[in-house]
Amino acid sequence: MRKIRIIAAALAAIITCGCSENSESSSPSSIYTVIQSSSQSSPASSSTSSDESTSASSISSSSEPSESSDNDIQLPASSSSSTENQLSSSSSSSSSSSTENQLSSSSENDGKIPYEERSSTGVVWNALGTNLTYDFKSAAIIKGLEERYGKTGKELGYVGEWCAEIVSDLLIKNGYRISKQYNPCDVTIQLLNKGYAHFYCFREENYDSLVKYGLKKSAQSRVTILDREDFTPQRGDFVCFLWNEENTIYNWSHIGMVAEDYDGTVLRTIEGNLGVTEFPDDPKIRTVDGREREYNETVIGIIRLEKINLHNRM
C-alpha cells in the first residue's frame, strides 16, 4: 500500500512539472501575437497620413517591443526587414516625388515660348572687345553700360523690366533733361520732343504709337520712315526691338545699344535686362550683356543722338 502511495506521488509531481512548462512556453506566444498585430497595423494607418507621419508610425511600432526586452522577445527578421523597407521606400518615394515636382515645375508648359526658341534670345558675345571707339554723341551712355557689364538687375537696384530704365537713367546722369522712363516708346518720345535725337522708323505702327502717346507735332520731323535695308546701324545707336511672339500685342518690346558698326552679317549689341537660360523670366537676375542678333523684322527702329551733354551734371 505504501508503495502504491509513493508511485502516485511521483506521478503527480511529473504531471505538475509538465503543466508549468507549457504555461511558460505559452507566454512568448501571446506576446509575439500582440507585437505582430501592431506591426501589421502600421501600413493601414499610413494610407491616410503623409510620408513623414508614415515613417514616424513605422518607427514607433517597431520600437515598442524593445520595452519587453526582459523577456528576450525580438521581432522576426522578416518583420524588421519590412519596417526598414517601409522607411526606405517612403524616403525614396518622397525624394523621387520631389525630383519629379522640380522637373515638372521647371518644364511646365505655361503657354510661353521656350526661352531658347524666342526671337529675343540672340547669341551671347563679349561686348567688351578691344579697340572700342567713343567718337559719337552717345559715347557716355554706352560707356555706362560697359561699366555695368555683367551686373544683375538686383545689383543695379532694378525690380521690374529694366532695359529702358537703365537707358533713361544713363541719359539723365549724363545731362539729358528727360524723366525716368520704363519702356522704349516713352524713351523715344522724350528724346524726340527734347530735340536730342532722330528716330529711323522701320514700321509705321511704331510711328503711330509715338504720335498716340505724346510725340509733339514739332518733333514729328525728327522721325524718318524707311526700309530697314536702307539704313546701316552704327556703334552708339539705340536699337528698338519688337519680338515676333509679341508683335500682335505690343509695338515695342526692348531697347539696347549697337556695340559695333553693322557689317552686313549680325547686329552686335550691348543691352540691359538680358535673361539667362536657367532663369529667363526673373528681371532681378537678368544682366547687362552682349548679344549677336539678326538684323531683321524684330528691329523696328534706331534712335541716333544728335546732341551731346547739353546740361552735363557729371
Q: Which amino acid is at 81?
A: S
Are 54 and 46 spatial neighbours (Cβ–Cβ below 8 Å)? yes
**pLDDT of 70:** 40
Q: Which amino acid is at 105?
A: S
**pLDDT of 310:** 53
Region 101-108: mean pLDDT is 33
Q: What mean pLDDT, rounded, does the chain reach?
A: 73
Region 41-45: mean pLDDT is 38
Helix (H, G, I), strand (E, B) or coil at 182: coil
Listed residue (174, 206, 183, 209) closest to 310, CA to CA: 174
Region 177-188: mean pLDDT is 97
Q: Say which residue the cell 561699366 belongs to.
A: 147
Residue 269: strand pairing partners = 258, 291
- 51 has pLDDT over 60: no
Q: What is the DSSP letter of 115?
A: G
Position 307 confidence tier, pLDDT thresholds 50, 70, 90 = confident
**Class of residue 244 by CB neighbours under 10 A (exposed 0-12, middle 13-18, buried 19+):** middle
Q: What is the pLDDT of residues 70-87, one digit of tens each?
A: 444 344 444 444 444 444
Are 236 and 257 spatial neighbours (Cβ–Cβ below 8 Å)? yes
Count the helix, strand and coil residues of the chain and give each as a percent rounded to the nearest 5.
50, 15, 35
In the chain, what percentage of residues exceed pLDDT 90? Answer: 51
- 157 has pLDDT over 80: yes
Q: Say which residue the cell 551712355 belongs to.
A: 141
Region 229-258: mean pLDDT is 96
For residue 95, what are the contacts with CB-CB under 8 A and spacing of at least 6? none
Q: What is the pLDDT of residues 189-211, one digit of tens each?
A: 999 999 999 999 999 999 999 99
- Measure the CA–CA gap between 61 and 313, rounded to whole angstroms: 76
Measured torsion, CA atoms of residues 225, 227, 231, 232, in degrees rounded to the nearest 10: 130
Task: Please give the backbone phi and psi of residue 193, each rounded to the nearest 5 degrees, phi first.
Answer: -65, -30
Q: What is the pLDDT of residues 26-38, one digit of tens each?
A: 333 333 333 333 3
Kindly report whether the global pTM for this prediction surpasses the value 0.75.
no
Q: Considering just the CA atoms, what is the radius of gyration of the chain in Å?
A: 40
Sign for the pseudo-dihedral over CA of 176, 282, 241, 287: positive
Q: Is 232 left (phi over 0), alpha (psi -120 to 50) or beta?
A: beta
